[in-house]
Structure 1
Amino acid sequence: MNWNAFLRQSHRWLSLVFTLTVIANFAAIFMGLAVEWLYYLPLPPLFLLMFTGLYMFFRPYFSRRRTAG
């Protein structure tokens, strides 16, 4: 598996983890079990999603510049 395929697959799994943490956060709030650290639980997957998403967004522009130059 090459680097781009690995990054795309990890982005998909991170989106699943992020969605589950947000659902768990809302469920805890509605059940009244919310503790303060639970609010910060979705942030690590969100930051990783941001970095992998930005890489996948700009990758075609960088590869086009390399082949044209």
Structure 2
Amino acid sequence: MSTNMWIRQIHRWLSMAFTVAVIANIVAMIMQVQAVWIGFLALVPLIPLLATGLYLFALPYVGRRDGARQEA
């Protein structure tokens, strides 16, 4: 599997982990649990999710620029 496919798979799994963390945060707020660490739980997958998302966002633009150079 190529590097891009690995990054896509990691991004998908991180998004699922982020969703679970947000749901846990909402449940904790509804139950009025005063655990601050639950609020920070969503930040753990969010930071690498941001990095992989930015990479995947920039991928078509970087590829298009390299293709334009080869044609010229």
TM-score by length of 2: 0.87
Equivalent position amino acid for 2:61 in 1: Y
Moved over 2 A (4+): none
Alpha-carbon shift at residue 58 of structure 1 (Å): 0.6
Match of 2:60 in 1: 60
% same residue: 48
Normalised TM-score (structure 1): 0.91
Per the TM alignment, residue 48 of structure 1 is displaced from its structure 2 partner at its CA by 1.1
8 A contact 1:25–1:34 mirrored in 2:
no
The Cα RMSD (Å) is: 1.0
Unaligned runs of 5+ in 1: none
Q: Distance in 2 between matches of 1:36 and 1:44?
A: 14
> For this pair of structures, how many residues does the alignment match?
69
Consecutive unaligned residues in structure 2, runs of 5 or more: none
Residue 33 of structure 1: how far off its partner (Å): 2.2
Task: Give the whole-Å Cα distance in 2 for the aligned partners of 1:55 and 1:29.
Answer: 33
Residue deviations 1:20-50, cap 9 Å, x none? 0000111112112230111111012111111
> Greater Rg, structure 1 or structure 2?
2
